[in-house]
Structure 1
């Protein structure tokens, strides 16, 4: 499963059947809702996120990192 982590250094990571991200030694917190970035962006490089009446832009950079701007 691809996952989106706001603390990761890449756009997505692979998660094994045991819930451990490849390349990391600790398990993913079972309470954390994981959303694949592909399901958010659906082929786009920028999306809008409305939060408490404000609009934010979530962008994928040329290096494949995520940037959130207000």
Structure 2
């Protein structure tokens, strides 16, 4: 039996290994911006004692300033 025939036989006989099981990633909470802004275009967020301002621009983008 030549090398290529042996190689083909080895490939054919090899049993596939099952994929590794990964731990499920923790769910990230999604909050809709309409729930946060409630009709306003600007809100203040207090984080670790510091006040931040989040604003919706005219183009509909969000800006967060310290």
Shorter-chain TM-score bucket reads: 0.5 to 0.7
Query: RMSD of the TM alignment (CA)?
Result: 1.3
Structure 1: runs of 5+ lacking an equivalent: 1-28
Which structure's residues are more often strand, by fraction?
A: 1
User: In terms of Rg, which structure is larger?
Assistant: 2
Whichever structure has more helix as a proportion of its residues is 2
Residues matched between the structures, number: 42
Alignment TM-score, normalising by the size of structure 2:
0.60
Unaligned 5+ runs, structure 2: 1-24
Larger relative contact order, structure 1 or 2 (CA cutoff 8 Å, min sep 6)? 1
TM-score normalized with structure 1 length: 0.57
